[in-house]
Chain A
Amino acid sequence: MKTKKHWYDYLWILSLTYLILGFFNILFAWLGLLCFFIPLIISLVNGSKAYCNKYCGRGQLFSIIGGNLGLSRKKSVPKWMKSKYFRYGFLIFFFAMFFVMLWNTYLVFAQAKDLSTAVTLLWTFKLPWQWAYHGTLFSPWVAQFAFGFYSVMLTSTVLGLVTMILFKPRSWCVYCPMGTMTQLICKAKNVTKSQK
């Protein structure tokens, strides 16, 4: 075991806090955008996966629950799960679902739809979540986005927990859409650089 701990080894606390806050006030879900923009900016500017490698609190959480607490079978993921087809396919699917979520936010913004105070788990199950909604602070679409974004975050956490138990603790990293995307950006950056 390596001894020296860095400040960023504790970022799992933030990830856990984020999930808990969503049970109290859904508007905190907006903070999750940081987990989208920071890795993207790091890969675009720096050409590295420093986010995955160091800062990802969710990865740390899985490695604590699955590794330290032992809630994992620690088996290899099936071959198809690490194939490019599945990884890129999941990325595309994830994006498509993300745009559906943005579209729903737009419909509420355009007053074509009423705010739905539900969290959609695994893109299918609508969980009533009105207890975390305390009235419209800004505009209904702000809350709609929060519900939608929290759905994305909770769904991916649940998937990550399932594969953590079935396979190795950080199996989520194998098909994490952000990880796949930042790796693609790094690959693209490297190709353009070597052509110069």
Chain B
Amino acid sequence: MDQLAQQLINGLSLGSIYALIALGYTMVYGIIQLINFAHGDVYMVGAYVGFASMAILGLGVFESLALAMVTCMILGVVIERVAYKPLRNSTRIAVLITAIGVSLLLEYVMLYFVGAAVRSYPPLPDYFNAQFAVGGVVISAKSLIIIGVSVALMIGLQFIVQKTRIGKAMRAVSQDADAARLMGINVDNTISFTFALGSALAGAAGVLVGIYYNTINPLMGIMPGLKAFVAAVFGGIGLIPGALIGGYFIGVTETLVSGYFSSLLQDAVVFAILILVLIFKPAGLLGKNVREKV
């Protein structure tokens, strides 16, 4: 029982990170129906910016988090403007291939400059390493901070999407881009803003994962990126609450599988979930089946 509770705590920390990445996927998909394969690599860049700002600039954890978010925000907008915007009217396959190209480009340019070696995050302030024992369960302050920061960011996102003008514009464009344009919404800027928000969250996730696992490498974005996408599909792609539920579900499942069976199987289980979802409920947990129109 204690072990289960312990695994759940670990799963929630990991799930928070997946949920942050999944939010970016789901928002971008919601607004331009693109699986942004480069999203996982934006998260990787975020982890490296956090590393550089802590190890080289000597900034604190939260300043580094903010710096990583701002850098990724800019990166996300640049990717959108340079690679995706010229393809607004192309086939979906063309945009998808471009996204894969951008993803590879980020990975290997990073590999070229920092090398393939794994780096470990600089030592954290003491309060990160505190531990509380509740019953037989050990809760580390690190996990609590990761969950806390993620939840705060998600609340902030929810506020932006639901209460601000630009959030309203995002929702309008995702419902019907043409109609939104007719209502005087600047669709291009709204799409860029969506990329900015999603990429900032991915950057935050990158720093948090550096804190959580303590190691980063240039190809670290591939797997979490794919898993976060699975999370988004699981919850219902395009839906913000779906990404949250999916992220936590995938995180907890993965931790339980590696805790009780084998860590080698965790990736296979996540993709098996994906295929099962696609077979039985392709619209995802919260999604509704929409009839397609000609």
| A interacts with B | no
Interface residues of B (CB under 8 A from A): none
Interface residues of A (CB under 8 A from B): none
